[in-house]
Amino acid sequence: MNLPAQRAASFQPRYTPNGTEQDGELLEISLGPQHPSTHGVFRMDATLDGEQVVKLKPVCGYLHRNHEKIAEGASYLAAMPYTDRLDYFCSLTSNWAYALTVEKLAGLAVPERAEYLRIITAELTRVQNHACVCGFLLQDMGALGTPLMYAFREREKVLDLFESLTGARMMCNYLRFGGCRNDAPAGWLDAVSQLVASFPQFLDEFEALLTTNEILLARTQGIGPLTPELAINAGLTGPLLRAAGVNYDLRKVDRYGFYDRFEFRIPLGDHGDVYDRYMIRVLEMRESLKILEQALKSIPTGPVMDPKAKLRGFRPKAGEAYGRLESPKGELGFYLISDGGPNPYRYRIRPPSFINLTLLEDMCLGRPLADVVVILGSIDIVMGEVDR
């Protein structure tokens, strides 16, 4: 019989052997896939020594549906709605990256008004994405509700504009090869102007609440710093790269669309930590508003589709093309190989938020577990794009 007293008497305590570096045992924690701070179904296998992270392996693929294979079995145009589902926060920039690559592959021209509409929708997308990321970052730090809901209130105004232009709030499916699907409805551009005029007020309020907030400073400054050399070598792009102080924005480097017609600056950080990433996003929103103001003033009238563009029976000649643009998350690229058939022979997406995860472990090593959540929040991942 195993009575409690007998069991206690026979209990042999186990000790870790003397002379080892670690006094206790390592603790393995699986964070996710269902965890509010992982921004979707994403898992991190973390190993902790006390409070410190000594190993952290990201595990993804829970949302994998092999988007690339689906697109290789469909016509070029039929893949366009699927690109909405990649980064469901920024469907219009995903549309544009795909349209840009197909236009490069087939040598199609885009009318001037359509290019302006693309820039306006892309910059609106950037503004609402960055506002929400800052809100989510604060949410991850425990500021439940207020910052995120303020950001969502502004995002809703942008989504209303998307709905009246494209018919959908998030799954816009708006661009076509050689232009845009439809012209802006009457009064739409005025509504955008109103939003652009009122947005700085929101940003001022948002910054007054947060930028010098003691808790935000304590939780973000000096957390997860990156050197410029490592950031470039690991292929980080977007606000993460610029927060590390690297002046590399594809709107300036590749000058796709008509970005060379507008005046705007590229904000750069100098520590590469989480606070810089937050600040870069706030400053980029202000620059995007400048681009929007200029674009709304100078948008020409005219057609929005190239009359020579073919929607049905579209077969680009054999060859390949790699096109990329600056999406709110970073460099979003598409790589297409055509064999002259109606569907792409190879269709590949270069997902920025997937590649930005490369350095997650490096940034988290030696930090307490609570910082892992903040660092992940500052990377800005969307699982629809990471897993494809």
Partner 1 sequence: MKSLAQLKSEIEAAVTGARLEILPNPAVPAQSSLRVDPAQASAVARFLRDTPQLQFDFCSNVTGVDWPERTEKVKLKQVVDGAEQEIEETRSSLGFLEVVYHLYSVALKDGPLILRQRTVNRSDDCRVASLTPIWRSCEFQEREVFDLFGVQFTDHPDLRRILMWDGFVDHPMRKDYVEPDDYEYEPTPHDEVLERAQQHYPTQEAST
> How far is residue 129 CA from its own chain's centroid?
8
3-state per-residue secondary structure call for 203-257: HHHHHHHHCCCHHHHHHHCCCCCCCHHHHHHCCCCCHHHHHCCCCCCHHHHCCCC
Residue 358 C-beta: closest distance to partner 1, Å: 6
DSSP state of 336: E
Are 374 and 219 in contact, with CB atoms under 8 Å apart? yes
| Binding status of residue 33 toward partner 1 by CB under 8 A | no
Task: List the alpha helices (DSSP H) in the chain.
Answer: 4-9, 67-72, 80-84, 91-106, 112-140, 146-166, 188-210, 214-220, 228-233, 239-243, 250-253, 274-298, 352-355, 360-364, 369-379, 383-387
Q: Which of 48, 168, 170, 337 binds partner 1 (CB under 8 A)?
A: 337
Distance (Å) of CA 224 to CA 84, 265, 380: 31, 25, 14
133: helix, strand or coil: helix
Task: Work out whether 73 is an interface residue with partner 1 (CB under 8 A).
Answer: no
Q: Should residue 41 be labelled a site residue for partner 1 when binding is judged by CB under 8 A? A: no
Site string for partner 1, 172-211 (x = CB under 8 A): ----------------------------------------
Residue 143 CB, nearest distance to partner 1 (Å)? 31
| 317 binding partner 1? (CB under 8 A) | yes
Strand partners, 175: 180
User: Which residue among 324, 364, 371, 381 contacts partner 1 (CB under 8 A)?
Assistant: 324
Q: Least separation, in Å, of the C-beta of 258 and partner 1?
A: 19
Does the protein bind partner 1 through residue 355 (CB under 8 A)?
yes
Counting contacts by CB under 8 A, is residue 66 touching partner 1?
yes
In angstroms, give the least distance from the CB of 43 to partner 1: 12
Contact by Cβ (8 Å): 210, 138 = yes
285 within 8 A of 47, measured Cβ to Cβ: no
Give CA 278 to chain center in angstroms: 13
Closer CB to partner 1, 291 or 355, in the complex: 355
332 binds partner 1 (CB under 8 A): no
Residue 43 touches partner 1, criterion: CB under 8 A: no
Q: Which is nearer to partner 1, 27 or 59 (CB)?
A: 59
Distance CA 39, CA 383 (A): 7
Q: Among 206, 223, 350, 364, indicate the residue that binds partner 1 (CB under 8 A).
A: 350
Nearest distance from residue 321's CB to partner 1, in Å? 5
User: Should residue 85 be labelled a site residue for partner 1 when binding is judged by CB under 8 A?
Assistant: no
Q: Report the SS3 class of residue 59.
A: strand
Q: Does 265 bind partner 1 (CB under 8 A)?
A: no
Q: Is 325 in the site for partner 1 (CB under 8 A)?
A: no
64 scored as a contact of partner 1 (CB under 8 A): yes
- Choose one: 17-25, 64-72, 163-171, 209-217; the region binding partner 1 (CB under 8 A): 64-72
Q: Which amino acid makes up residue 50?
A: G
C-alpha distance from residue 280 to each of 87, 156, 190, 268, 286 (Å): 20, 22, 28, 7, 10
**Position 105 contacts partner 1 (CB under 8 A):** yes
Show the tokens assigned to 307: 């009359």
- Shortest distance, position 26 Cβ to partner 1, whole Å: 19
100 lines the binding site for partner 1 (CB under 8 A): no
Report the half-sphere exposure of 101 (CA within 13 A, side-chain side): 30
Helix (H) or strand (E) holding 46: strand 43-49
Nearer Cβ to partner 1 (113/324):
324
Q: Does 227 bind partner 1 (CB under 8 A)?
A: no
Chain positions contacting partner 1, by CB under 8 A: 60-61, 64, 66, 68-69, 104-107, 230, 232-236, 246, 248, 253, 316-322, 324, 331, 333, 335, 337-338, 346, 348, 350, 354-355, 357-359, 387-388
